Amino acid sequence: MSRPRRGESLSLTIDDLAFGGEGVGRADGYVVFVRGGLPGDRLRVRLAEARARFGRGVIEAVETPSPDRVEAPCPYFGRCGGCRLQHLAYPAQLAFKAKQVADCLQRLGGLGRFEIRPIVPAPELYGYRNKMEFTVAEVAGEPVVGLHEAERYDSVLDVERCLLQPDALNALLDEVRRDLRERRLSVYDQAAGDGLLRFLMLREGRRTGETMANIVATAPEIETLAPLAERLRARVPSTVSVVLNVNAKKASVAVGTEEHLLAGRDHINESLGGLTFQISANSFFKTNTAQAERLFALVEAACALTGMETVFDLFSGTGAISLLLAPRCRRLFGIEVAATAVEDAVRNARANGIDNCTFLSGEVRHHLPELIRNGVKAEVVVADPPRAGFHPKALQALVALGPARIVYVSCNPGTLARDAGDLTRAGYRLEWVQPVDMFPHTPHIEAIARLTRGG
C-alpha cells in the first residue's frame, strides 16, 4: 500500500513506547509515533507529519483504551511539556523504564553478558521534587509564571500548581505570580531581548523544610525585587533564602553570572544519610531526596569499601556521594565543574567533621589527567555525569587510571551504554545494572552500573 499522507486519519494499535515516551504504532508496516499513546491503545490518529520512514500522529479518538491507561490528575496534562506518563499506571511506567535501560544497553553498548536488576520504584509518586524551574513570560498582556507547553519552546503555560513539587514550593510560586501582577513588574521578552524577570527557580530541603526562591533577571535591580523577597519571607514561613541571579545574555538558562542575596541566607540545608548539606542556588543536588537516599545506599554497597581505598568521585556536585563514602575510605577526591557546588561541598565536609576529602573545581577531563600525572591512584571511582555522559578525554583518563571498580550513576541509558561499551573494550567487565526510578510520570530513568577491571 502507498505511504500515508499528512492530514490523513488512521486507525492503529499502539504496541510500544519510544524512549521519549511517545506511543509507537504501525499502519500496514508504516511506523507512527503518537504523543499520549499507550501500549494496548486502539487509536484514531491524524497524521501531523509524514516522512519516508515514519510519521507522527495526533490522537483524534481513543477507540479502545489500554488496560494500563488511567486518568491523569493534573489539569495541565497533555498541554504541559513536563509529565508525559501521568496517564500510565505506575507499574507499567516501571516496566517501560526497565525495558528502556535493557534495550539501550543491549542495542547500543555491544556488551557481553551482565545482570539487569529489578527496577527500584519511587516511594512518592507526587510532590517528590525538591527543585523546580519556571519561566516568566507575558501572555496576552498578562505576566505568567509557568512551564513550556508540550513541543513548544516559544509558549509558556501559566501553571498555578505543579503536582510534582511540594505544597511550600507551590505557595512560593503563587506569591511570586501575585506580586508580578500586582506591581506590574517588567517581564523579559526573548524576541526583543529586553525586560527584567526571566526565571523562577524553587528549592526545598525535604528533611529540613527550608525553602529557597531564586529569581533570575537581566539586571541587578535589588531595590525593585526587595519587596518581593520580603513578601515571600512573610507569607511563606519556610522561606529562608531569596536570591537574585543576573543573566543578561541571550542564552535562555536559569543560571546567572552574578548572584545577590535579597533576603535570608544564600543557601538552604538538607539532611541525607545522617549528614547535613548546604545547597546554594546553582548547585547540583539530586532532585528526589527520598529516592536519592536509596540510590546512594546502592552506590555505597557497589563500592564495597574496606576503609583502605582512595576514591575518586567524578561530577561530585555538592559532595553528597563523596561525604557519604568518606567515612568508609582512606581518602577521597571530588571533581566538579560548578564552582559554587564545590564551595558547598567544602562547607558540607567541614560542617560534618569530614577531613579526608579534597574537592577540585573544574572539568573532569582536565583534573583527572593531572591527578594521574601527580601520582595519585584510586582503587574505586564513582561517576555521576550529566546526560551527555563522559567527554572522550575524561573516559581515556579513567581507563589510564585503571581503578579496580567503577560505579557509574547515569541519567541517560544511551550514554551509559556508549561509555560502558568503551570501558568493556578497554578491559572492564560490566557486572550489573540497577535501574532506579527517580522521576515518576516522566520518561526519565536513572541507573547504576558496576564495572570491574579484568575478566
- The cell for 218 is 537581566
Give dist(CA 323, CA 357) in Å, integer.
Answer: 8
- The cell for 433 is 545494572
Is residue 251 classed exposed, middle or buried when 0-12, 13-18 and 19+ CB atoms within 10 A define those classes? Answer: exposed
- The cell for 68 is 494500563
Give dist(CA 84, CA 152) in Å, integer.
Answer: 14
**CA-closest candidate to residue 363, choices 343, 386, 346, 329:** 386
Give catalytic status of residue 74 as yes or no.
no
The alpha carbons of the chain give a radius of gyration, in whole angstroms, of 23
Going by DSSP bridges, is the β-strand pair 428-436/115-116 parallel, antiparallel, or unpaired?
parallel
Q: Yes or no: say if 397 and 372 are a contact pair by the CB < 8 Å rule.
A: yes
Give dist(CA 287, CA 275) in Å, integer.
Answer: 17
Considering all CA atoms of the chain, what is the largest pairwise distance in Å, rounded to the nearest integer? 71
The DSSP letter of residue 327 is G
Give dist(CA 188, CA 242) in Å, integer.
Answer: 20
Contacts of 298 (CB under 8 A, 6+ apart): 120, 434, 436, 448
List active site positions. 411
